[in-house]
Amino acid sequence: MNTATQYPGRRRRGVTFVELMVYMVIFTLVAGFVLQLVWGGRKADEGRKRLGIFQDLRISSLKVNRSLSQATRILFPPADGKPYHQIVYLSERGELMVLFLNDKDNLYLMNYDAVKKNQEQPALLARRTMEFNASRPPGTQDYLQYLARLKDERGVEFALTDGILVRNIMR
């Protein structure tokens, strides 16, 4: 006999099996939603970091393109079609510029004249650079192409290749 019908003014205690199942379903739905938010947030954060690395690479490439397109002379690499790991050129102001990859896998652009005069530090273009190759096709004076490959924290590679036509070559 049910205690609620036996004693009408008295409340029953405990939880029925159906109520317990409803509470568990609601709890499972809420927990799943919260876990999805946390997991989705982490994935979005990883995606933003990877996009940031690629954006840094693109901005670095844009800086190199602007500087090289106004160069007056490319001193290195030679026009032999072989890949080299640095670029040396004269800027539009006649300054010696060097683009190189150091031993810590950082890509730098250095104004050699400013370093020599003012002890100015080279500009960091990209971190975690696995490879930087530059080459000039045989017989060209005003065209340079390069490839930069970077890795993110998870080991995913990003690569950017570009070719630059130098406008101010003095002949």
The pLDDT value given to residue 29: 92
The pLDDT value given to residue 125: 84
The pLDDT value given to residue 88: 93
Farthest CA pair distance, the chain: 110
Q: How many domains does the chain have?
A: 1
Position 73 in a domain: yes
The answer to whether 88 and 76 have CB atoms below 8 angstroms apart is yes
Q: How far apart are CA 129 and CA 85, in angstroms?
A: 12
Position 16 in a domain: no
Paired tokens of 1? 């006999």
Phi, psi of 82 (to 5 degrees): -85, 150
Position 3 in a domain: no
Position 76 in a domain: yes
**How big, in percent rounded to 5, are the helix, strand and coil portions of the chain?**
35, 30, 35
The pLDDT value given to residue 169: 61
Q: How far apart are CA 67 and CA 112, in angstroms?
A: 14
The pLDDT value given to residue 82: 93
How do the pLDDT tens digits run along the chain, 171 residues long?
555 556 566 666 777 888 889 999 999 999 888 888 878 777 777 778 777 777 777 887 888 888 888 888 889 999 999 999 899 999 888 899 999 988 888 889 999 988 888 888 898 888 888 888 999 999 888 888 988 888 777 777 888 888 888 876 655
Paired tokens of 118? 């003012």
Model's pTM, two decimal places? 0.67
Position 29 in a domain: no
Please give the residue range of the domain that contains residue 150.
Answer: 42-165
The pLDDT value given to residue 15: 79
Position 67 in a domain: yes
Q: How far apart are CA 125 and CA 145, in angstroms?
A: 17
